[in-house]
Structure 1
Amino acid sequence: MNKTSLVYHDLFQKIEEEGYPIGSYLPSEHQLCNLYGISRETGRKALAMLAEDGYIQKIRGKGSMVIEHRQYEFPVSGIVSYKELAEKLHIKTQNIVYGYQPNATLPLADFKSLGTELTAAPVTAIKRVRMIYGEPAIIDKDYILKSVVPEIPKRAVEDSLYAYFENQLGLMIGYATKEITMAPATDEDCKHLAIRKGAYVAVVRSVTSLSDARAFQYTESRHRADRFSFRNFARRVKK
C-alpha cells in the first residue's frame, strides 16, 4: 500500500470512529506533512480521495470539512462487490448460497426494461442470501454469460465473484445500467428473507458490461423494504 493510501485509510478510520466528527476540519496539507512525514502532494492526493468518496468538502479559506457520509451505506449507484462494500463499512455479513446452476438460460424478460437486445443465452445462475448481523437482508440472483466466463468455481461463488473475474481472469469491468422498482414479495422472498406474504421488496436490476462494452453479468437484487434505502452522494461537475 502506497503512502497516499495509508494516509487515506488512517483519516477514513478516524472519520468513521468520529475522531473527526461531522462539521469538523481535517488537518491542513501542511499539517498532514508533519503528522505523517509525507510530501504535500501526497497529502493533497489523500484529501482528494476522501472528497471523491464523499467524506469531506473542501472549503476555500477554511480547509477540508467532514460532511455527512453515512449515505454511502449500500449505495445503488457505482459498481462495487458486496464483499468490498461490507469490508469498507465494517459490517458483519455472511453469504448463503442456495442456488448454483452451471448450465442455465438467461431469463431475458426480467432485464428487457434495461434496454438489452441480447437473446436467451447460456449462463451460470447463482442465488445467494446476504445476511447482515445474522439477519437475512438481500437476495442476489446473478446470471453470468458462459460465453465470457465459461466456468465459475464454487469458492468464488461463496467468496467474491468480482475478485475472481478481475484477479483470476483479468477481466476489465467497465460500467453498469441499473433500475429500481418495488414489487410484491414472492414465495421465494418470503422464505429466504423471513418476511410475510403481502410485503413488498425493493428490486434492483442491473446489466454490467466489460470495458469493451460486452454485457456479461445480469443481476437482480431483492431487498427487504424495511432494510432498504436509496441514498447516494452526488457532486456537481461543471463543464
Structure 2
Amino acid sequence: MNVNKYNHIYQVLSSDISEGNYGRGDVLPSEHTLVSTFDVSRETVRKALNLLQENGYIQKMKGKGSVVIYNPSMDFTVSHLTSFKEIQQLKTKQYTTKVVELVQYPAAEFPKVLEALKLEADDRVWRLIRQRQFEGKTHIVDTDYFIVEMMPGLNTRIAGDSIYEYIEKRLGLTIAYSHKEITFDPMNEKDLELFGNVIPPYTATVRSVVHLTDARPFQYNISKHLANEFKFVDFSRRFQGG
C-alpha cells in the first residue's frame, strides 16, 4: 500500500472537516465513493478512515458510515506542538500578528527562562512579544524567549510570519516536543496595556518549554489568552485490551 495515498486522503478529509465543509453529525461519503474519487483501493481508504477515527475526526458506525464527531469550538490546540501560522491555515477566523517587541537581554534578567533553557547568567536571549488580533481586538499575547546564539538572524519580519518555519527550513533544526502548563491569572499592568480594558481581567496562560530532537531546550513561551474566550478541548479514545 502506498503510504502517501492514504495520508493524502486523510489530509484532504481532515481539512474539509476542520474548515467546516463537513459539520458535526454529518456522514462522510461511502467507502465506495471515496475509492472512486481518489482512485485508490478500498484498503487505502479504510486506512485513511481509521486514522481519522484515531485522531477524533470521525466515529465509524455500523449501518451509518463514518460520522463526523470533530468539535469545531477548539480555537487553539495546546495538546499538539503547532505554530500559530500552521493553526491559522486550518481556521476560517484569520488573526493578524503585531510584533510589539524584539529585544536582546542578558538571560540573568529572567531567572525562570535561564533555568528552563539551561543557560548561564551572561548568555543572551531574545524577548519577543506579539499580539494576535482579530478585527482590531487583541485575543492572545505571546511572549517568547529564544537563545540568541541559536537564532542570531532573528528579525521582526520573521517574527511577524513564522518562527518555526524559519527554524526548520532556514536553520535546518528539527522541533520535537514541549512541556506545557496552564494557569488562570489576573492581568498585570502590561497585560491591560496589550489587551485593553476587558472583563473579567484574567488570562488563561499556557507556559511551554520547547525542545529540539537532540533534547536541547530552545524556546520558553508564555501564551496569554482572554480567559472568557479560552477553551481547552482535547480528544481521548479508550483502546481495548492491555
Give the equivalent residue in structure 2 for 1:97: 99
Is residue 71–residue 232 contact of structure 1 (8 Å, CA) maintained in 2? no
Give the equivalent residue in structure 1 for 2:31: 29
State the secondary structure of the residue aligned to 1:191. Answer: helix
Is residue 93–residue 134 contact of structure 1 (8 Å, CA) maintained in 2? no
Is residue 96–residue 158 contact of structure 1 (8 Å, CA) maintained in 2? yes
Matches within 5 A, 1:178-193: 178-193=180-195
Tell me, yes or no, if structure 1 residue 43 matches structure 2 residue 50: no
Identity of aligned residues (%): 39
Tell me, yes or no, if structure 1 residue 107 matches structure 2 residue 110: yes
Deviation at 1:132, TM superposition (A): 2.3
Is residue 114–residue 120 contact of structure 2 (8 Å, CA) maintained in 1? no
Alignment partners' CA distance in 2, 1:187 and 1:233: 35
Alignment partners' CA distance in 2, 1:80 and 1:124: 20
Give the equivalent residue in structure 2 for 1:176: 178
* 1:76 aligned partner, one-letter code: V
Is residue 184–residue 201 contact of structure 1 (8 Å, CA) maintained in 2? yes
Deviation at 1:224, TM superposition (A): 1.2
Alignment partners' CA distance in 1, 2:114 and 2:233: 23
Give the equivalent residue in structure 2 for 1:165: 167
Please, what is the CA RMSD of the aligned residues?
2.7
State the secondary structure of the residue aligned to 1:141. Answer: strand
- Structure 2 portions without partners, runs of 5+: none
State the secondary structure of the residue aligned to 2:194. Answer: helix
Given the superposition, is the C-alpha separation of residues 19 and 168 from structure 1 closer, same or farther in structure 2, using an over 3 Å criterion? closer
Is residue 189–residue 195 contact of structure 1 (8 Å, CA) maintained in 2? no
Given the superposition, is the C-alpha separation of residues 148 and 11 from structure 1 closer, same or farther in structure 2, using an over 3 Å criterion? same
Is residue 207–residue 217 contact of structure 1 (8 Å, CA) maintained in 2? yes
* 1:144 aligned partner, one-letter code: F
Q: Which moved more, 1:33-42 or 1:7-16?
A: 7-16
Is residue 104–residue 123 contact of structure 1 (8 Å, CA) maintained in 2? yes
Give the equivalent residue in structure 1 for 2:60: 58
Alignment partners' CA distance in 2, 1:104 and 1:144: 12
* 1:216 aligned partner, one-letter code: F
Q: Which moved more, 1:18-27 or 1:172-181?
A: 18-27
Is residue 105–residue 125 contact of structure 2 (8 Å, CA) maintained in 1? yes
Q: Which moved more, 1:221-230 or 1:46-55?
A: 46-55
Deviation at 1:211, TM superposition (A): 1.1
* 2:45 aligned partner, one-letter code: G
Alignment partners' CA distance in 1, 2:51 and 2:65: 15
The size of the alignment, in residue pairs, is 236
Tell me, yes or no, if structure 1 residue 234 matches structure 2 residue 218: no
- Structure 1 portions without partners, runs of 5+: none
Is residue 186–residue 202 contact of structure 2 (8 Å, CA) maintained in 1? yes
Structure 1 length-normalised TM: 0.85
Deviation at 1:87, TM superposition (A): 1.2
Alignment partners' CA distance in 1, 2:92 and 2:41: 30
Structure 2 length-normalised TM: 0.84
Given the superposition, is the C-alpha separation of residues 119 and 22 from structure 1 closer, same or farther in structure 2, using an over 3 Å criterion? same
Deviation at 1:129, TM superposition (A): 0.3
Deviations 1:4-47 (A, max 9, x none): 45534543454356554322322233321112322334423432
State the secondary structure of the residue aligned to 1:174. Answer: strand
Give the equivalent residue in structure 1 for 2:222: 220
